[in-house]
Structures are given as structure tokens and as C-alpha cells.
Structure 1
Amino acid sequence: MVRVVAVLVALAALAGCGAVRVEPPAPGGTTATACATLNGRLPRTLDGAERVPSDPPSPYVVVWGSAEIALRCGVPRPATMDPRQQVPEINGVAWFADPVRPLLFTALTSDGYVEVTISRKHQSAGVLVDLAAPIKAAFPG
């Protein structure tokens, strides 16, 4: 929880800077492979925001806009999620909406978790719809 808050603070503080500071996760095994595949499938533009570099560079982090949307692939299961909890699906991807941090969504796949932070400047549902196909392709299980 503290780590996610630190990521959000860093994103807010660096809005407008060249590279956006985001703490990269360190997935292993099949999750790391799927995350690297996902990185190559993600769009250059998402909900009108252009893809920008992250600091440090990582194949597990993608940022769009001035810290408007940040994706981290290979994160741990959300601490606030009950593993038996039913979550909504958007275009075949199950998304957990964090009840404590309303701008944080986590895609639940059989091989890992993909965390997305979406600023209020963007329509969360539209962003999640746009991310569903690349996530399904990278995590087919």
C-alpha cells in the first residue's frame, strides 16, 4: 500500500517532466515474459495521451501523458482484494477497482497482475477497454 501511494505521489510530482518516475516491479518466470510481450503490444497513444519514458526505464512500466496514465506489469496481488471476490470483466479482462485508491485498477490474469493508475483527466472505462486486447494477447491463459 505504501509503495502504491509513493508511486502516485511521484507521478503527481513529476507531471510535466520528461521521464516520469515510477517504481518498476520485478516479476519472474512466465509473468516477466508476458509483461515484456505486453509492453510491445501497448498503444503509443491512450485516450489522447502520448506514451512517454519512465524513470528508471523498465520493460514492466509504461506511462502515457504527463503522468496521466501509468501501467505496471507483474505487481503482487492487491492487498485490499479478497481472492474470492467477484470482479467485473471488461472485454474479457477481469479488473479489480481498489476501494481505497479509486484511481487504481488491477487486471487479474492467470499468470500475473497488471496495475493501472488513471488520472481523473481520463475516462477509466475507456482506458480499461483499450488495454483489454493487449492484456488478453500477452496473457492468453
Structure 2
Amino acid sequence: MTYSCRRFRRSVLLGPSAALAVLAAAGCSAGDAAPSVAVPTPSPEEAAYCEALHKELPRTVTGLERSDPGPESVLTAGWGDGAIVLRCGVPRPTKMDDAQSKAVDADGVNWLLEQRGDAGPRFTTTYRKAYVEVTLSTAYAHDITPLSAFAAPVRKTVPDSL
């Protein structure tokens, strides 16, 4: 069995009894494997929009409970242990300069779509004063339904840039 804990960066291969003893001593459980994401470094103005957005984010998205990734930040949020991850204040994607890039509209919020090979899709808001990025697991490879849960909070807290 392989167990990992947020406090340790490496996985440890142990027998079941030894693994449980190590986990108990470390103060975590086999279910304590929340994903880790890079925290953006936006400008102070963008960070203020992101903090407001963080307060408005839903507790559930498509039936998945909120389970924020580490490290804890008002610039990141997650649902379903990494199935859906939101980062606010990300840099403007260079793909937005490509006239052939694809976008989708979800309840009045426009999102740039980037397919990521073996990973699920990544969406980034367009025409907003702060860029909000949502990555979806491969389970949502052909489904933009989760974006609808973010439309009202984004419209309410992150102004249009036009």
C-alpha cells in the first residue's frame, strides 16, 4: 500500500500495520490526501477580487463537496479532492492571443478552453479584471456543467475588463 500525507512530500511504501502506525503518529489519515496546487501571485487589486470571489464560492459543485487544496489560500479552492480546482489571479494565458483558440460561455461568463493532453480541460475567464482558472479532471473532459456553478460568483465579484 502507498500512503501519503500532506506533511510529507514523498510517498512511503509500508505494510498495512506499519503504515497505520506511521499515519497515526503523523496526525493524518489515508483519506488526507488533498491535492497541492501552485498559489498564484496576483496584483493587490486582483487579489482583492479573488478574496471576494473566495467568499462567494459554492459548498458543492455538481454534487462534489468542497475540499480545498493545499497550501491554504483565498486564491485557490477545490471540490471532490481535486476533481475540480479553481485558482484566482492567474497570469493571462498566452493561448488568448491565438485567434484559433476556443471559448465557451457558461451563464454569462466567457471561458477560454485549453485541452491538456492526458489531463482534463482547463478553463480561464476572459474579459475580467482578474483571471480565474478552473481545471477539471478527465471525468469532465466533455462537460462544462461545473462552470455554471462559478458564473454567478465570478459575475458578482470580478468585474468585466471591457
Q: TM-score, normalised by structure 1?
A: 0.79
Unaligned runs of 5+ in 2: 1-30
Q: Distance in 1 between matches of 2:115 and 2:139?
A: 19
**Match among 151, 157, 162 for residue 132 of structure 1:** 151
Q: How does 1:4-43 map to 2 (within 5 A)?
A: 17-43=32-58
Q: Distance in 2 between matches of 1:83 and 1:37?
A: 30
SS in 1 for 2:126: strand
TM-align CA RMSD? 2.2
Q: Whose Rg is larger?
A: 2
Q: How does 1:49-128 map to 2 (within 5 A)?
A: 49-82=64-97, 87-100=103-116, 103-122=121-140, 124-128=143-147
Residue 69 of structure 2 contacts residue 82 of structure 2 at CA under 8 Å; is this kept in 1?
no
1:109–1:40 CA distance, 2 compared to 1 (3 A): farther
- 1:2-59 Cα distance to aligned partner (Å, 9 max, x none): xxxxxxxxxxxxxx54432111101112211110000010001111111113211111
- Which stretch has the larger CA shift, 131-140 or 85-94? 85-94
Q: TM-score, normalised by structure 2?
A: 0.69
Aligned length, in residue pairs: 127
- 1:48-97 Cα distance to aligned partner (Å, 9 max, x none): 11111321111100011121000000001112221666733221111100
Q: Distance in 2 between matches of 1:124 and 1:35?
A: 25
Q: Distance in 2 between matches of 1:100 and 1:56?
A: 23
